[in-house]
Amino acid sequence: MLKWLLAVVIALLLFGGLTPWLRRMGLGRLPGDISFERDGKRYEFPLGSTILLSLLATLLFHMLK
């Protein structure tokens, strides 16, 4: 359980640090990504980007196997 939690924390930190770079590459603006602004706050739900990153990670892990 501890290894899983550590992996999730590291993944979130990496994704948070790479967000500006990933945004320049177009992630966060794919079809299926939802973003809206309400009361001066911006809400983003990157569903399409999450699916794409998941598929890429799956392919990478299967290739390394």
Q: Per-domain residue ranges for the chain? A: 26-65
Average pLDDT in the 29-55 region?
Answer: 89
Confidence tier at 4 by pLDDT (50, 70, 90): confident
Query: Where residue 18 falls among pLDDT bands split at 50, 70, 90?
Result: confident
The fraction of the chain above a pLDDT of 90, given in percent, is: 14
What pTM, to 2 d.p., does this model score? 0.66
Distance between CA 4 and CA 48 in Å, rounded?
Answer: 24
Residues in Cβ contact with 30 at an 8 Å cutoff, skipping those fewer than 6 apart = 46, 48, 49, 52
What confidence score (pLDDT) does residue 63 get?
Answer: 92
